[in-house]
Amino acid sequence: METPPQPLAEPKDKRILVVDDDENIRGLLELGARQEGFAVATAVDGAEAARKIPEFRPDLIVTDLMMPAQGGYELIRSLQGTDHGAVPVIVITGRKLDDSTKEMFRREGNVIQVLAKPLSLNAFTLALHQILRTQPPQGQRSRGLNERRPGLR
């Protein structure tokens, strides 16, 4: 006998930590997640993220790979063996990664997805909802940055 599917959670009940040293990327990801209804905190590198994790208690971490001080890979490794080792992680990077490197990240257990920059904001927010099993906001969907409202030029 199959169990019925669990109802989707509300985004407002989920917390996302965005970690990126590029202020523009960090702001864009924060804005996209907030528009979808998620609670969001940000950090400029893995060291700052590690300090924020115990208090913020994210349900998902989105981290750049290459950052000064402590990068994304070091952050992921530092989570292992802690209370936060099972928090799912999306790795984003501007580096071209071959399949074996992507597979290495996926073996970390908590790395759910590896995304390449530049990111599609729509693909990013869709991934957030899929991973966190949340219901996207009803009504008018947020528009991509390049989409125009009808009648505007």
Total count of domains within the chain: 1
Cα dihedral sign for 15, 119, 127, 95?
A: negative
| The pLDDT of residue 3 | 67
What CATH code is carried by the domain that includes residue 79?
Answer: 3.40.50.2300
Q: What is the mean pLDDT of residues 113-122?
A: 86
Measuring CA to CA, how many Å separate 99 from each of 17, 61, 106?
A: 26, 22, 10
Residue 103 lies in a domain: yes
Q: What is the pLDDT of residues 103-113, one digit of tens each?
A: 777 677 788 88
Above 50 in pLDDT, residue 147? Answer: no
| Residue 142 is assigned to a structural domain of this protein | no
Higher model confidence: residue 106 or residue 100?
100
Q: Do β-strands 39-43 and 60-64 pair in parallel, antiparallel, or remain unpaired? A: unpaired
pLDDT score at 46: 93
- Is 150 a domain residue? no
The whole-angstrom separation of Cα 152 and Cα 124 is 26
Considering only residues 58 and 98, tell me which one the structure prediction assigns the higher pLDDT: 58
Query: How would you write 47-108 as a 3-class SS string?
Result: HHHHHHHHHHCCCEEEEECCCCCCCHHHHHHHHCCCCCCCCCEEEEECCCCCHHHHHHHHCC
Whole-model pTM over 0.85: no
How large is the average pLDDT for residues 64-77?
87
Say how many C-beta atoms besides its own lie within 10 A of residue 103's C-beta: 11
Rounded to whole angstroms, the Cα distance separating 80 from 50 reads 12
Kindly indicate the confidence band of residue 45, based on its pLDDT and cuts at 50, 70 and 90.
very high
pLDDT by residue (tens digit) across 15-28? 999 999 999 999 99
Tokens 């609670």 appear where? 39
pLDDT at position 139 is 59
Structural domain includes residue 145: no
User: Mean pLDDT across the stretch 51-72?
Assistant: 92
Residue 82 lies inside a defined structural domain of this protein? yes
Is residue 152 situated within a structural domain?
no
Angle made by CA atoms 112, 38, 94, in degrees to the nearest 5 = 45
Q: Residue 67 domain-assigned?
A: yes
Mean of pLDDT values over 38-52: 95
* Cα–Cα distance for residue pair 105/101, rounded to 1 Å: 7
Tell me the residue range of the domain where 75 lies: 13-132
Looking at the domain assignment, is residue 83 inside a domain?
yes
